[in-house]
Chains A and B, each alone.
Chain A
Amino acid sequence: MTVETPSETKAIEFPDGIPGFPHLRRFALVEIVEDGAFQLLQSLEDEDVAMVVCVPWLFFPDYAPELAEDDREALGLERPEDAVVFCPVTLEPENDSVHLNLMGPFVVHRETLIGRQVVLADSDYPVRATVDLGGA
């Protein structure tokens, strides 16, 4: 099955899939609103699978994820500036509070558009960092 997205959308390839959805490999970043802080990571193979994602530094300017050598090599990342980083966004249904997963960011090579969701297991970054939208 294919999912319709704007024709200029470039596909990001996750060769290993992503945790929870290992069978899905091709995704696209879609804007929710023009120049918005949040984007949609939409599966190109299953229209029901999409999540909001966000560049972490907008809300956590000191965020400094350290990639394992295996991750850097798997992505062909030679320089930090080759990496595009964004984090999954979850919502607490009870109170509509917004969280970023800082422990499991998506890292995509800017040129090849090959990506991986890395797991920063040895970091102290939480899977649910509360976003202060009022500060945005």
Chain B
Amino acid sequence: MLILTRREGESIRIGHDIVITVVEVRGSQVRIGVDAPRSVQVHRAEVYDQVVEENRAAVRTLDRSAEILRTQVPPKEH
């Protein structure tokens, strides 16, 4: 992993169009600003990882869930 030292207000550029800025350092917390094209989704890693894990679980459990859900029809309109 590339490790760089930065101060508040300083930035890192990734490729042509992504800029990461250290906005504020306070105690053990760092506020970070991200400028990226709209095509790049930016998320907290632990949140994104949850979605990754759920997608993998959905694929992994496909056979059994398809078997169970084959019999399910849509709920009646109210």
Number of interface residues of B (CB under 8 A): 31
Bitwise, A110-136 to B at CB < 8 A (1) or not (0) is: 000000110101000001100001011
| B55 and A40 form a contact (CB under 8 A) | no
A119 to B43, CA, bound (A): 8
Minimum CB distance partner of B40 in chain A: A16
| A90 and B69 form a contact (CB under 8 A) | no
Q: With A93-B64, A119-B41 as given contacts, are A38 and B69 in contact (CB-CB < 8 Å)?
A: yes
A70 to B38, CA, bound (A): 5
| A20 and B52 form a contact (CB under 8 A) | yes
Number of interface residues of A (CB under 8 A): 42
A residues with CB within 8 A of B:
15-16, 18-21, 32-33, 35-38, 40, 48-52, 58-59, 70, 73-74, 88-91, 93, 96, 98, 101, 103-104, 116-117, 119, 121, 127-128, 133, 135-136
B residues with CB within 8 A of A:
38-41, 43-44, 47-48, 50-59, 61-62, 64-66, 68-75
**18 other A-B residue contacts (CB within 8 Å) besides A52-B62, A127-B51:** A16-B41, A20-B52, A20-B55, A20-B59, A36-B73, A50-B59, A58-B75, A59-B75, A74-B38, A91-B68, A101-B55, A101-B58, A103-B47, A104-B55, A117-B55, A119-B41, A121-B44, A136-B73
